[in-house]
Structure 1
Amino acid sequence: MKNYVNIKHIKNLNNDGLRGIAFYKQELGILQERLQEIAGDNTAREVQEKIDHFQNQLLIHENYLNELKHDIHANDEAIEAELLTTGDLISENVAAEHTRIRERYLNEEKIFNELRHEFNRFAADWM
Structure 2
Amino acid sequence: MATKTVHISDLHHEHKLWSNELTFQKEEIKIFKNWLAEISQKNTATDIKMKVEHFQNQFILHNEVLDTFLHDIKVHEQELEKFAQENEIAASHARFTDHANFRDRVETQHSLYSALKHEFKAFTSEYL
Percent of aligned positions that are identical: 26
Which consecutive unaligned segments of at least 5 residues does structure 2 have?
none
How many residues are paired up? 121
Moved over 4 A (4+): none
Q: Which residue of 1 aligns with 2:121?
A: 120
- One-letter amino acid of the counterpart of residue 34, structure 1: W
Is the contact between residue 54 and residue 119 of structure 1 (CA under 8 Å) also seen in structure 2?
yes
So what's the TM-score if we normalise by structure 2? 0.87
| 1:5 match: secondary structure | strand
Counterparts of 1:82 and 1:125, CA distance in 2:
52
Q: Which residue of 2 aligns with 1:55?
A: 56
Q: Which residue of 1 aligns with 2:22?
A: 21
Compute the displacement of 1:4 (Å). 5.6
Superposed CA offset, 1:39-78 (max 9, x none): 0000111001101100000000011100000000111112
RMSD between aligned residues: 1.6
- One-letter amino acid of the counterpart of residue 61, structure 1: H
Which consecutive unaligned segments of at least 5 residues does structure 1 have?
none
Rate the CA distance shift 1:9–1:37 in 2: closer, same or farther, 3 A. Answer: same
Counterparts of 1:64 and 1:16, CA distance in 2:
17
Superposed CA offset, 1:8-36 (max 9, x none): 11110100011111111110011000000
Q: Which residue of 2 aligns with 1:5?
A: 6
Deviates more, 1:73-82 or 1:107-116: 73-82
| 1:43 match: secondary structure | coil
- One-letter amino acid of the counterpart of residue 76, structure 1: E
For residue 87 of structure 1, the aligned residue among 86, 91, 95 is 91
Is the contact between residue 8 and residue 96 of structure 2 (CA under 8 Å) also seen in structure 1?
no
Is the contact between residue 7 and residue 96 of structure 2 (CA under 8 Å) also seen in structure 1?
no
So what's the TM-score if we normalise by structure 1? 0.87
